[in-house]
Structure 1
Amino acid sequence: MNEKQKLSVLIITLNEEHRIKSLLEDIDFADEIIVVDSFSNDQTVAIVESFTNVKLIQNQFINYTSQRNFALDQAKNEWILFLDADEKLTPELKTEILSTINNQNAASAYLIYRTFMFKNRKLNFSGWQTDKIFRLFNKSKCRYNEERMVHEKLIVNGKIAVLKNKIIHFSYISFQDYKEKMYKYGVFKANEKLKKGQKPSLFLMVFHPVYTFLYQYLIRLGILDGAKGITICYLNAYSIFVRYKELDRITSSRI
């Protein structure tokens, strides 16, 4: 008889007081829960510490990839479920996760589709209709690529599969909250490009954001999401603009 596989759930946080409690209540099926917090200055730490089954570790944030790999190194179990504070699992997905890791023919890593929530309503298009991400994997066969600072890429040694059930992704709370997130992503992407030796380009600063907006709004059918589609497509394009603007700023400051 095969031994039951144990699951470690990992979460990285910074000022997630409005979302972390509901997530921690939602993942009590895990054998181990670790929150790696980058020194939140709201009530995140106090909320996490109120859960006796959760281990809190504070670690200085450098970038998303290094923080995720640090969290991986803290986990006791081979099977990892990596979640963000703005994500929620359905009962069907929980059951599927436990069934999957106890399958003798389990893959090394699993992609999970996400349902993007705009405030509390589902966003059907705008490029998010095919959004999927690595969330469940065997840590002995996987590691995040250190060259990426944001939109982390998992390097998988072995078979990749896809789970049937979706994660609910409550990413958009307000315009300002999402704009700040997109700005931060843009800054990290600028630093990635700098490390790769890319030079600033006025053409790309103008063309790439416009292309991104039109592609997501027209080709990826953001137009069918109404005002929500315009907002999301604009903010995603804004992040691209920040990427090139920041690259130009950093490069100019070094001259």
Structure 2
Amino acid sequence: MSASKKPNLSVLIITLNEERHIKSLLENIDFADEIIVIDSFSKDKTVEIINTFTNVKLIQNQFINYTSQRNFALDQAKNDWILFIDADEKLTPNLKSEILKTIEDNNSANAYLIHRTFMFKNKKLHFSGWQTDKIFRLFKKSDCRYNEDRIVHEKLIVNGEIGTLKHKIIHFSYTSYKDYKLKMYNYGVLKAQEKIKKGQKPSYLKMVFHPAYTFLYQFLIRLGFLDGLKGITICYLNAYSVFIRYKEIHRITFSRI
């Protein structure tokens, strides 16, 4: 393929108070033809840092939920090939090369799953349910859209073939217990809103047993115990998010009565 016909790549990022990660990420994706950050009116230095990058387009948009924010970002991109990346993720040199070669070859796949390596602080988490984690990150905008029925843990609807890239994204999701617990709390609240919209009713049994099942499944079946104290922490906080979901379903439901 000649250079003049090489497909261009838009990298999209959504942010809220990401001053810890945003500078290194923007330096990491300087190979992109277009970089757009959709910021949800950060209160820290995120916007100030973004504005130091002349190759980055910053748009501030009120956050409603993750799906609406991602679809809004898609609508801003001028290129068909999209790389969606979170502020706490990092591309390895091998993954960068694979991404560029993939869009240049322009084969039959319309979207690609990428495996992620979960980092607990600065150390790799080997198990605890994260060992098979993969997510859509590279896709053609013309063939893909996020399902508006999901407002958290977004689901990409792909009209076409799906492929999987070989190399992994490094995911620096866990920096401190406090930050990760807040993230899990917010996920739980949004998941409750999603479930209520679908008609789910309060259940005390589910509020007790579903979190317990989540912890035991990830700690025992998904081998979280092999991660030691890190595994206990992650499995507990994931179960905590499930508990918050049911607690919030109860709160919202009975506040309407």
* Length-normalised TM-score, structure 1: 0.99
Deviation at 1:117, TM superposition (A): 0.1
Tell me the distance in 1 between the aligned counterparts of 2:34 and 2:195.
36
Match of 2:84 in 1: 82
Instruction: For structure 1, list consecutive stretches of 5 or more residues without a partner in the other structure.
Output: none
**Residue 126, structure 1, aligned to residue 117, structure 2:** no
Distance 2:248 2:94 in 1: 42
What secondary structure, in the 3-state scheme, does the structure 1 residue paired with 2:207 have? helix
Among 51, 54, 75, which residue is 1:52 paired with? Answer: 54
2:116 maps to 1:114: yes
Which of 136, 139, 155 in structure 2 is aligned with 1:137? 139
- Give the ranges of 4+ consecutive aligned residues of structure 1 lying more than 2 Å apart after TM superposition: none
Match of residue 202 from structure 2: 200
8 Å CA contact 1:9–1:80 kept in 2: the answer is yes
In structure 1, the residue matched to 2:41 is 39
For 1:190 and 1:182, locate their aligned partners in 2 and report how far apart those are by CA, in whole Å. 12
Aligned counterparts of 2:79 and 2:106: Cα–Cα separation in 1: 17
Cα distance in 2 between the residues matched to 1:139 and 1:230: 39
| Secondary structure in structure 1 of the residue aligned to 2:43 | coil
Tell me, in whole angstroms, the C-alpha distance in 2 between the residues paired with 1:210 and 1:232. 14
- The alpha-carbon deviation at position 104 of structure 1 amounts to 3.3
* 1:53-110 deviation per Cα after TM superposition (whole angstroms, max 9, x unaligned): 0000000000000000000000000000000000000000000000000113241000
What residue in structure 1 maps to residue 27 of structure 2?
A: 25
Amino acid at match of 1:35: V
Check whether the contact 1:144–1:155 (CA below 8 A) recurs between aligned residues. yes
1:120 to partner: Cα distance: 0.1
Aligned to 1:167: 169
Q: Does 1:156 align with 2:175?
A: no
Residue 4 of structure 1 corresponds to 6
Equivalent pairs counted in the alignment come to: 255
CA contact (8 A) 1:209 1:238 kept: yes
Quote the RMSD (CA, aligned, Å): 0.6
Alpha-carbon separation, structure 2, partners of 1:197 and 1:224: 38
1:205 partner SS: helix
Structure 2 counterpart SS, 1:36: strand
CA distance in 1, matches of 2:73, 2:199: 29
Confirm or deny: 8 A CA contact 1:100 1:106 kept in the other structure: no
Question: Residue 245 of structure 2 aligns to a residue in which SS?
Answer: helix
In 2, Cα distance between equivalents of 1:165 and 1:241: 34
Secondary structure at 1:127 match in 2: coil
- 1:178-197 to structure 2, matched below 5 A, reads 178-197=180-199
One-letter amino acid matched to 1:223: F
Q: How many angstroms apart in 2 are the aligned matches of 1:37 and 1:104? A: 31
SS at match of 2:241: helix
Amino acid at match of 1:142: C
Distance in structure 2 (CA, Å) of the matches to 1:4 and 1:22: 27
**Match of 1:108, SS?**
strand
Matches of 1:5 and 1:102, distance apart in 2 = 6
- Please tell me whether residue 221 in structure 1 is matched to residue 223 in structure 2: yes
The runs of 5 or more residues in structure 2 that have no matched partner are none
Residue identity over aligned pairs, in percent, reads 78
